[in-house]
Each structure stands twice: as structure tokens, then as C-alpha cells.
């Protein structure tokens, strides 16, 4: 059975833009550190560099769905340097405006990159830039300009950065958060990238199909003994040829659903929702542009209440009863039926996150036998704990998509 691909995720460095990582980082530090030492003369270059390294390592290790990468980075940077973001925010703004553009000389545009992105967008695919989110948004935006893919003119659906993500590569949670922001499932997406561990392994673990960009940086990598294999490999030009001349995207086989995908998916959904609600204007929360649809507040309240009253109890029942017969829950309140005026939307989203944490405790460490426990559903027929846990994650995305659509109509 083939799958219908709807979204393409591209790595940035050495996928859409030739950018030798080690050389670029050296030039980046050489440009930034003198500015920091001049502004903060009591701090040495070594101390500042140690702070940056501590920040990056903390981001890479972080798997807290509630903490943005930027918060993690600056907290760890502060631990070493005693500098807060407020201390050097103006300096970083100047750096990105006047100094960082000079790093373009380290990079080289890839001729195929604008062509393949334009073709995909013209053919109604969602295209996202899934770069490892260790740099601020301004840094990513400038590298896209160097790749001849300027924002927002190009029309990317989403671009990851330190400022808008809660995870980094190779966590599968990172890919799940992106997909929730895009509104698609893993079997509807392809990851295209050059880094084996970060791009191929991480995306495969999340259930995406993959295309491995081969270049001189990874030509010695032997994947014959690896547990995952890409669905295709070659240059970006090879990928462009495959999708335009050989219908490669139409022939992909979806990855099987496995238990290890569930927790990252549930966590990625939470992080994506929190990222969205943080940007909702206060006066949007109770708007119902369509009187027959829920308001943003009603959607988030439903997610919170469904987790504690429907989703988790159903999973608990499958674990504790033999082959239970499951029926659909009672219909939720109709639009406008609930009195929600006094609620704080962000607080409700955090309450949903707290309920989800309890659900995650329930599924953590389950045996293969537990994941396979059977149940019978009045609508779906024979099912299992794994399938119903996956349904819970899909329920999240259904309503997060609904939230996106409603917000797009608010004024």
C-alpha cells in the first residue's frame, strides 16, 4: 500500500545550501566572540565560548515539551557566564544586522534548491525547512537568503529555529512537533537531508519516509548495517529528477506504526500547541467566526477535558479489561454552550499538558504484550492498545488543525 505524500521537510545546511559546518562555526565564533568580550570585558573568550557550548549541549539533550529551545539555551548560557538574554539582546541584534551577513562567503548556493522548492509548492505540497534549531531565527533566515530561498517570498509553511521549537535533532519529537504545526501525519511526509543520524534516523523513528542527500561530507558513511534505510538517496538534483520524472513521491510505502512512535507524537503535539497558543491575541480566544464551530478557547478546553475523561480512561480500560467493547464518548458541548469567559487559554493548554503527562506515565515502559492488548470498537471494529493510543495523538492533531483554521478566520 502506498501513501499520499503531502509535506516535504528539508534540512538546510548541505542540503539546500552548501555550508561546511566546522568551517562555518569557526567563522561564526570569530565574528561573535570579540563583540561579546568588548561589551562584557570581565568575561574571557574561553568563558563565553564555554557558555555557548553549554547552551547548545543543553538544547540537544532537552526533551521537555514545555520549554522552548531558546529558554533552555539562555538558561544554560547564563549558568556559565552570568549573562541573561536581556544583557546582550541589543548586541545580538546588531550582530545579525551588521556582522553575520559577512558569513555568506563561507557558503555556496545549490542551483537545484530554488527549483525543487518552487516545483513542490507549485504542485501544492507543504514545504518546511527542518534545520537543527540551534541558531536564532535571524541566522536561519539569512542562510535561506544565501540559498536563494528568501523568506517570506518563497512561501515555506514552517521554518524551525531556536526560537520556535521545543526539541532538536535527532529526537523524533522534533519531527512530530513540525508535523503538528503543518497539520499532517508522519506517513504523509518525507524528510530530505544529508546527516545520517539527525535527518535519516530521527525522521525514520518518527515514521516519515526519507531521502538521503549524499555529498562529500558523508560519502564514507556505510549504512548497510544500520537499523533504518532511506527510501532514496543521491544529490538534490537526483531527488528533483525522481519527483518530477519518475513519480517517486507516489510510490512510497508508509512506515509501520510501532509503540516507540507514540510518546514522541503525543509530546510533539503538546509542544506544537503551546507554541501556537503563545501567539494567540487575547481578543481571539472567544471568537467564533463560524457560529457552528468552536472558538479557540472551546477547542483547547475540549482537548484538556477529553484527555482526562475520554482518551486516558479508554487506554486504561484496554490495559485492565480483557478485550473490552468500546463505544464512542458522549457528544461534547455544542459551540457556545459553555461559559468560558473567565478562563486563560494558555493556562488551559498547560492543564492539558499536565493531563498528557499522566497519560505518558501510563504508557511509559509498557511491554510489547501490553501494546498489543486487543479491544473491540463499535465504529473501528477490532483494534488494539497501540491503535487507540495512536488515535489519541490523531485526535490532538484533528483539533489543533481546527484551531489553526479558526485562528485564520479571527479578526
Mark the ranges of the chain whose per-residue pLDDT is less than 70.
1-2
Report the residue count for the chain. Answer: 411
Per-residue pLDDT at 84: 85
Cell of residue 19, nine digits: 555550508
DSSP E strands in 303-380: the ranges are: 325-326, 374-377
Residue-range domain boundaries for the chain = 7-18+107-251, 21-105, 259-409
Instruction: Please report the pLDDT score of residue 1 as a whole number.
Output: 63
Rounded-to-integer distance, Cα 371 and Cα 386, Å: 5
Of 188, 53, 39, the C-alpha closest to 126 is: 188
What is the value of pTM for the model shown?
A: 0.96
Would you call 18 helix, strand, or coil by DSSP? strand
Write down the pLDDT at residue 2.
66
CA dihedral 86→91→97→100, nearest 10 degrees, is: -110
CB 83 within 8 A of CB 178: no
DSSP letters, 252-316, are: PPPPPP-GGGHHHHHHHHHHHHHHHHTT--GGGTT--SSTTS--HHHHHHHHHHHIIIIIHHHHH
Asked if residues 117 and 239 have their Cβ atoms less than 8 Å apart, the reply is no
List Cβ neighbours of 334 (8 Å cut-off, separation of 6 or more).
Answer: none
Instruction: Report the C-alpha gap between 345 and 347 in whole angstroms.
Output: 5
Nearest to 181 by CA among 150, 211, 159: 159
Q: What is the CATH number of domain 7-18+107-251?
A: 3.40.50.1000
Q: Chain-centre distance of CA 193, in angstroms? A: 15
Residue 364 has a pLDDT of 96
Range 259-409 has CATH code 1.25.40.340: no
Amino acid at each position: 500500500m502506498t501513501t499520499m505524500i503531502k509535506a516535504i521537510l528539508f534540512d538546510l545546511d548541505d542540503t539546500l545550501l552548501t555550508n561546511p559546518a566546522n568551517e562555518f562555526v569557526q567563522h561564526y565564533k570569530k565574528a561573535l566572540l570579540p563583540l561579546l568580550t568588548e561589551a562584557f570585558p570581565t568575561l574571557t573568550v574561553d568563558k563565553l565560548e564555554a557558555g555557548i557550548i553549554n547552551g547548545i549541549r543543553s538544547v540537544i539533550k532537552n526533551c521537555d515539551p514545555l520549554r522552548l529551545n531558546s529558554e533552555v539555551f539562555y538558561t544554560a548560557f547564563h549558568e556559565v557566564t552570568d549573562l541573561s538574554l536581556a544583557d546582550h539582546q541589543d548586541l545580538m541584534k546588531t550582530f545579525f544586522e551588521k556582522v553575520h551577513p559577512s558569513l555568506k562567503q563561507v557558503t555556496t548556493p545549490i542551483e537545484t534548491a530554488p527549483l525543487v522548492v518552487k516545483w513542490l509548492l507549485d504542485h501544492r505540497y507543504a514545504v518546511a525547512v527542518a534545520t537543527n534549531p540551534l541558531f536564532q531565527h535571524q541566522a536561519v533566515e539569512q542562510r535561506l537568503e544565501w540559498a536563494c530561498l528568501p523568506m517570506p517570498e518563497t512561501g515555506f509553511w514552517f521554518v524551525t529555529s531556536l526560537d520556535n521549537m521545543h526539541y532538536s535533532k535527532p529526537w523524533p519529537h522534533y519531527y512530530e512537533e513540525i508535523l503538528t504545526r503543518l497539520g499532517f501525519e508522519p506517513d504523509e511526509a518525507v524528510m530530505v537531508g544529508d546527516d545520517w543520524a539527525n535527518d535519516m534516523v530521527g525522521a525514520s523513528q518518527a515514521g516519515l519516509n526519507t531521502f538521503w542527500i549524499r555529498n562529500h561530507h558523508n560519502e564514507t558513511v556505510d549504512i548497510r548495517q544500520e537499523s533504518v534505510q532511506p527510501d532514496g538517496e543521491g544529490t538534490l538534483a537526483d531527488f528533483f529528477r525522481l519527483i518530477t520524472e519518475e513519480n517517486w513521491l507516489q510510490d512510497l510505502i508508509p512506515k509501520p506504526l510501532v509503540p516507540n512512535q507514540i510518546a514522541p507524537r503525543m509530546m510533539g503535539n503538546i509542544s506544537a500547541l503551546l507554541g501556537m497558543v503563545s501567539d494567540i491575541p487575547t481578543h481571539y480566544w472567544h471568537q467564533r467566526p463560524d457560529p457552528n464551530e468552536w472558538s479557540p478557547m472551546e477547542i483547547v478546553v475540549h482537548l484538556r477535558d477529553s484527555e482526562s475523561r475520554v482518551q486516558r480512561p479508554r487506554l486504561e480500560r484496554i490495559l485492565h479489561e480483557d478485550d473490552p467493547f468500546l463505544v464512542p464518548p458522549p457528544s461534547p458541548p455544542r459551540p457556545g454552550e459553555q461559559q468560558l469567559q473567565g478562563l486563560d487559554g494558555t493556562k488551559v493548554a498547560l492543564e492539558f499538558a499536565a493531563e498528557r503527562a499522566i497519560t505518558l506515565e501510563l504508557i511509559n515502559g509498557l511491554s510489547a504484550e501490553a501494546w498489543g492488548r486487543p479491544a473491540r470498537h463499535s465504529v473501528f471494529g477490532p483494534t488494539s492498545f497501540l491503535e487507540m493510543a495512536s488515535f489519541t495523538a490523531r485526535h490532538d492533531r484533528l483539533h489543533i488543525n481546527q484551531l489553526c483554521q479558526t485562528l485564520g478566520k479571527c479578526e
